[in-house]
Amino acid sequence: MNDEIILNVQDLNLWYGENHALHQVTLPIKNKKVTSLIGPSGCGKSTLIRCFNRMNDLVLGCHVSGNVIFHGQNIYDDGADPVDLRKKIGMVFQKPNPFPKSIYENIAYGPRIHGMKNKREIDETVENCLRKAALWNEVKDRIHESAMGLSGGQQQRLCIARTLAVNPEIILMDEPCSALDPIATSKIEDLIEELKKEYCVIIVTHSMSQASRVSDYTAFMYLGDLIEFGDTRQIFENPHKELTENYITGRFG
């Protein structure tokens, strides 16, 4: 079902100590669609995307209230397992961060720690993930060489392949192209288009043109509030809120 809500964010608040960084955010995220989070610097985009796989748990003094419902369970419930959650909801960061190991080992690592032992199965997973990340043809003759020898754009696609290797359902991308040149950026954007056939993708971007190119839905945030959420076309062509219109027309940013 393409209209299935895979992640239901309800009345989500987040504090960094005394700083109330997210206010009552309510947002339905649909499966097999791309959702962009946009807004000026400091509005809470990264904070929000990090809530979706509990990355903020690692920040001292951070406190969350509200619900993020995934498969009928609040991911913040006491019984929820953040390690298992991060397997199902993977994350790709702004700066490509491959391990200083071979291309092969970067991808084999996750499946191995989750119990995959059979070499043939691991080989197949590595190839499959590199193909899905549109990297196989470029690296197939050197998969046992260091990942650090890849270009920035290739490293970012490797990080995406690494995320895919543990069979996620949702891929979070926090400004995945901000360190890349326009050609590498366009390859990642093409890849996002492919990935959404199988996965839910949520992306933080500073680029409104990128949001309008890649996403089905867009959420505009301002000072920790979710101001407007809707179909990307509606947000960019017919925003309902004045703040959204002022932002997308470049009146502030």
- Contact residues for ligand ATP (CB under 6 A)? 16, 19, 21, 39, 41-47, 59
Q: Smallest gap, in angstroms, from Cβ of residue 241 to ligand ATP?
A: 18
142/155 Cα distance (integer angstroms): 14
Q: Are 243 and 249 in contact (CB under 8 A)?
A: no
Q: Smallest gap, in angstroms, from Cβ of residue 100 to ligand ATP?
A: 25
In the three-class reduction of DSSP (H, G, I as helix; E, B as strand; rest coil), residue 134 is classed as coil
208-224 burial: b if 16+ Cβ within 10 Å, else e: bebbbbbbbbbbbbbeb
Output the DSSP codes for 63-81. Answer: EEEEEEEETTEETTSTT--
Let me know if 86 is exposed, middle or buried by CB neighbors in 10 A (0-12, 13-18, 19+): middle
Let me know if 205 is exposed, middle or buried by CB neighbors in 10 A (0-12, 13-18, 19+): buried
Sign of CA dihedral 19, 21, 23, 24: negative
Q: Smallest gap, in angstroms, from Cβ of residue 153 to ligand ATP?
A: 21
Q: Smallest gap, in angstroms, from Cβ of residue 35 to ligand ATP?
A: 15
Q: Which residue number, 165 or 208, has a Cβ lying nearer to ligand ATP?
A: 208
Q: Smallest gap, in angstroms, from Cβ of residue 21 to ligand ATP?
A: 4
Q: Which residue number, 104 or 229, has a Cβ lying nearer to ligand ATP?
A: 229
207 backbone dihedrals φ, ψ, rounded to 5°: -95, 115
Q: Smallest gap, in angstroms, from Cβ of residue 228 to ligand ATP?
A: 15
196/52 Cα distance (integer angstroms): 18
Q: In whole angstroms, what separates CA 126 from the centre of its chain? A: 21
